[in-house]
Chains A and B, each alone.
Chain A
Amino acid sequence: MLCGTAPTLSGEREKMARHSNNDHDSKRLRTRFTGRLFAGLLGLLSSAANAAWELNLQEPVTATARRVYELHSLLLWVIAVIFVGVFAVVAYSLVFHRKSKGHKPATFHDNTAVELAWTIVPTLILIAIAFPATSALVDMRDTSQPDVTVKVTGYQWKWGYEYLTGDAAGIKYMSVLSTPRDQIENKAPKGEHYLLEVDHPLVVPVGKKVRILTTANDVIHNWSVPAFAVKTDAVPGFLRDTWFRAEKEGTYRGQCSELCGKDHGFMPVVVEVVSEEKYAAWVADQKQQMAAVAEDPNKAWTLEEQVALGEKVYTANCAACHQANGEGLPPAFPALNGSKIATGPQQAHLELVINGKPGTAMAAFGGQLSDTDIAAVVAYERNAWTNKLGEVIQPADVKALRGK
């Protein structure tokens, strides 16, 4: 079921990486200051009005992400010192040991003590780094005792969220890119959150440990939110898990981080972190809406009603490949307008949508869509464009086919 309207709580405390606050400890402040100085210099050279010269990791909003941030800053210092040290020696050679300055070459070519030193010293540095790196990792993997558990399913090319525990248990919806096609095709000016906005974000309470279980329906995806230092593959047929405890309310944005086909770049992750009160209100609201739109399986649909619903389902689930005009992107994504399937026997068409076509990008929508939605979308495909078959499909027919 495409659950109607998850309310968007955006607008308040929007947190893009570039709107960073100044409330962090002095070490990070220093790094950031250097970054800003550099960014400022670059900015002077640029005429772009909204230049965003972000030079470092996004500002962390979980304790884990902060540890990662600090570990990265530490490493940056270590490698910077090593680099400067090594190339200071090189620079000295380049300047003073030139043939053009008449420098005569030495003949030494071995020194066991020196060789031992530059084997042992780096080893010691690595051992020293290994301690914070290990403890940060151990913390990252501790998914025990969550307050809220959400199952995240990757689809080509959208995310499905299903709340498994607590008051929200049972809430289930799809989260799809909401950036209009016109913006992507450069026919309309791009919005502030171009490609990083969805219709229904994941909503979680602030300060609570949220465990994310990932899986996928078709290919491997990756659910990633940089501000939480969360990035976990969603592997079809397997469950993986990760967790975060967001410390601040706000909207946090990430993207699918494993190449998953054509629209890999167009399936963002948006998480709204809200106060407990707002979360409770959101849960109640969702439950109410779910009850309101609960379908009457015996409802008799008219053609107009069904095509209108079907068009919505089509736009959200099918248009990415088969295109709004039904012409597809052949040969990988065939046309539906005038196709053999969409104008042939109804049962074969329904079965293809329910079961998918293995070995292709055609997913099995039986597990994603309700009987009503499948009936509607197939009816739409059989009545849209030039496919004017005039058929109404009853959800009961879909239900009957599912068992097969």
Chain B
Amino acid sequence: MQATSHAGYAGNHDHDSHGHPTGWKRWVTTTNHKDIGTMYLWFSFVMFLVGGAMSLIIRAELFAPGLQYVSPEFYNQMLTLHALIMVFGAIMPAFVGFANWMIPMMIGASDMAFARLNNWSFWLLPPAAILLTASLFMPGGAAGTGWTLYPPLSVQMGMGMDMAIFAVHILGMSSIMGSINIVTTILNLRTPGMTLMKMPLFCWTWLVTGFLLIASMPILAGAVTMLLTDRHFGTSFFAAAGGGDPVLFQHIFWFFGHPEVYIIALPAFGVVSHVIPAFSRKPLFGYASMVYAIAAIGLISFFVWAHHMYVTGIPLTGQLYFMYATMLIAVPTGVKVFNWVTTMWRGSLTFETPMLFALGFLVLFTIGGLTGLVLAMTAVDIQLQDTYYVVAHFHYVMVAGALFSAYAGLYFWLPKWTGHMYNEKLGKLHFWLSMIFFNIAFFPQHFLGLAGMPRRIPDYAQQFADFNVISGIGAFGFGFSQLLVLVIVFQAVKGGAKASSRPWDGAHGLEWTVPSPAPYHTFEDPPVFNQAEAHG
């Protein structure tokens, strides 16, 4: 066991002959970054299906005015768990999975810096997921506060709330340890010659994301701990009657919550920054400015939190400051979009599934970014806060942004992981179904929000009925289309056309110099880094 986590074995060694456990023990005890990456990805996909099923319960209830299938309390629990599971259980672990699989191979390292910590980071996730989902079956049900867990409402909740708090603690520990691992790996284990400014962009996005997580996760943990002591130990951090302030929680929560948005978005930017150049057969335009933009976004993300709180009664000067700071973040984000567009310009484009998802990301994330600019304007935001416009906005950023980018990464790297090409026809079908149904589901929600439909309501006035029907049809179509991923991945794992070590002719980077499927141990000796594989 001990030996396998050490470097120094030849890449073609059969690891089993060194007493490496097999069967389920292999997965429980593994310290191999590829095994752990695989587990992260499967975990996130399972959670994605669970969270997705919850969203379909929400959309089914909203299909027509009146209460149909679920009670308002259960509806609130669904929308809370849907968000917590999607953010902490699906999207974040998916990108940690990519980081585990790809970062060591991209920088020519044999494994992650802290291999055992890596194992623990993953295995903390299932207990947290169980806590979250099991809270549904507790007396009083799960937390029904929305993922923002605002007190005093969260103080009223039953035991499900405590389970959600502990789940957040555990998920936070997992994220902090994972981030320390990734940051250390990137800073210390790069192959000789790979300076920071020659590093693949995915590593850059994760380096910044790692710091964002290390800085923001303890803040969330602090906030929910204060909530816990308010609930059970007689403190009054958030209770006015005891000298506290409910809005204090919102400040602390969003001081974590806004960086969290970029924790999700930055690795997505990283994936797209690999896929677009590969299928444009042209180097990424403006590598250096991309790096500066990532760093700028990461930094500014800590200074805009109260734009989630424009209606809480913060002073006018506060509103003005947060409006200007939020507008500022549009500049580096714009730079990134322009760089991707210019990368494609005068390239030699082909449209395999990864590229389709990257293009889908580009279009839809830009829409989400532009509606974000609308929402940055405090006066307009006051009209749109807590309406479906906001729901549409963040689903364009989170689903079309992060999820589409994750799919781009999945199809891009699947041949490297499995050694087989996936079914291109099914992949394209998956993209087009996702693209079409996503827009049917979420675009009409902009109109609902403008017309004044509040979010987080189980029933609505009749003038909102028609767009909700359309949105419901889109949501169900989108949800069931995602099952195609299972088929495609299973097919690629089982067989299919053999993938060469570099299945995409435009792809560059050390990860494409190793065979497909990538051997269990790669780069036990640091590879020679030549200019052809550099990104800068």
What is the interface of chain A, defined by CB distance below 8 A to chain B? Answer: 16-18, 42, 46, 48, 50-58, 65, 67-68, 71-72, 75-76, 78-79, 82-83, 86-87, 89-90, 93-94, 97-100, 103-111, 114-115, 118-119, 122-123, 126, 129-130, 133-134, 136-138, 140-141, 183-186, 190, 192-196, 218-220, 222, 224, 226, 229, 231-233, 235-238, 240-241, 254-266, 329, 331-332, 359-361
Contacts and interface: CB of A to CB of B under 8 A. Distances in A.
Contacts of A97: 280, 344-349
Contacts of B73: 262, 329, 332
Contacts of A241: 313
A260 B344 contact: no
B286 A257 contact: no
A326 B337 CA distance: 59
Given A130-B324, A194-B65, A257-B454, A57 B348 contact: no
Contacts of A231: 311, 382-383, 385-386
Interface of B: 65-68, 71-73, 76, 139-141, 144-146, 150-153, 155-156, 158, 231, 239-241, 245-247, 280-289, 311-313, 316, 319-320, 323-324, 327-328, 330-331, 334-335, 337-338, 341-342, 344-350, 359, 362-363, 366-367, 370-371, 373-374, 377-380, 382-383, 385-387, 447, 450-452, 454, 456-467
Contacts of A54: 447, 450-451, 463
B366 A16 contact: no
Given A93-B344, A137-B316, A262 B246 contact: no
A110 B152 contact: no
26 contacts: A17-B451, A46-B466, A75-B374, A83-B370, A86-B337, A86-B366, A87-B363, A90-B341, A90-B344, A94-B344, A97-B345, A97-B347, A97-B349, A98-B349, A98-B350, A103-B349, A105-B346, A105-B347, A109-B285, A141-B319, A184-B66, A184-B459, A220-B153, A224-B454, A258-B311, A332-B140
A35 to B, nearest CB: 9
A98 B355 CA distance: 13
A264 B383 contact: no
Contacts of A115: 286, 289, 335
Contacts of B348: 97-99, 103-105
Nearest to A82: B370
B152 A58 contact: no
A51 B466 contact: yes
Given A190-B65, A218-B156, A264-B457, 8 more contacts: A18-B463, A58-B451, A67-B379, A75-B377, A97-B349, A109-B286, A238-B247, A255-B454
A20 to B, nearest CB: 11
Given A109-B285, A265-B72, A53 B467 contact: yes
Contacts, number: 302
Given A46-B466, A107-B282, A231-B311, A136 B379 contact: yes
Contact of A79 (B341, B370, B467): B370
A231 B449 CA distance: 14
Nearest to A228: B383
B474 to A, nearest CB: 14
Contacts of A106: 282, 345-347
A265 B347 contact: no
A282 B61 CA distance: 40
B152 A219 contact: yes
Contacts of B280: 97, 105
A394 B319 CA distance: 52
A67 B192 CA distance: 59
Contacts of B456: 259, 264-265
A123 B333 CA distance: 12
B65 A240 contact: no
Contact of B152 (A104, A122, A137, A236): A236
Given A72-B383, A265-B457, A126 B331 contact: yes
A230 to B, nearest CB: 8
Nearest to A357: B156
Contacts of B349: 93-94, 97-99, 103
Contact of B71 (A87, A222, A329): A329
Nearest to B73: A262
